Structure 1
Amino acid sequence: MDFVTLIGLTAGSLTTVAFVPQVLKTWKSKSTKDISQGMFITFCTGVFLWITYGFLIHDIPVILTNIVTGLLASTILWFKLRYR
C-alpha cells in the first residue's frame, strides 16, 4: 500500500468514525430533536455522490470510507424519520 492511499484511508476512517458516537447516542436516547433532517439528507446525497465519484476514478479509499460513512449517516437519518 502506498503512502497516499494510506493517508486517504486514515483520513476517511477518522471522519467516518466521527459518526459512531452520534449513532449510538441517538439509538440509546431515541431522540433526534436536535438533529437537522435537511442537513442529513444533503449530507447523505453528497456521500452517495462521493461513492459514485470514487467508482468513476477507481479510488478505493474514497469508495470504502464513504460507503461506511453513508451507512452511519443514513442510520442517523433513519432514526430522525422514525423517532419524530
Structure 2
Amino acid sequence: MYFGYIAAFLTTASFIPQAIKTIRTHDTEGISVLMYLGFVTGVFFWMVYGILLADPAIIAANFLTFLLALPILVIAARNELRRRREKTAA
C-alpha cells in the first residue's frame, strides 16, 4: 500500500520544478509538444482508471500531475504556434 503512495508522490513531485520553470519563463525550447500532448492525455486516462478502481493513490497522483503538466503543454503549444507563424511571415 505504501509503495503506491511513495511512487505517486515521487513521480508527481518530479514535475514541480519543470512546471514552475516553464510557467515563470515560458521557455519551452527543448520541450516536445507532441510528447506532452501524449503524456497529458495518458495521465488523464490514468486518473479515470484510478477513479474506476477507487484507488486514491492513482487518482491523486494523476490529478496533480495533470494539473502540473497541462500548463506546460499549453505554453509549449502556444510557443510552437508562434514560432510557426513567425517562420511563415519571414
With normalisation by structure 2, the TM-score equals: 0.81
1:54 corresponds to: 50
1:64 corresponds to: 60
Two-structure CA RMSD over aligned residues (Å): 1.2
2:34 corresponds to: 38
Higher relative CO (Cα under 8 Å, sequence separation at least 6) belongs to 1
Percent identity (aligned): 41
1:74 corresponds to: 70
1:11 corresponds to: 7
Gaps of at least 5 residues in structure 1 are: none
The one-letter code of the counterpart of 1:46 is G
Greater C-alpha Rg: 2
With normalisation by structure 1, the TM-score equals: 0.87
What is the number of equivalent residue pairs in this alignment?
Answer: 80
Instruction: Report runs of 4+ in structure 1 exceeding 2 Å deviation.
Output: 81-84
Deviation per residue, 1:23-68 (Å, 9 max, x gap): 1221232211110000000001100110111011111100011000
CA distance in 2, matches of 1:30, 1:41: 17
1:20 corresponds to: 16
Gaps of at least 5 residues in structure 2 are: 81-90
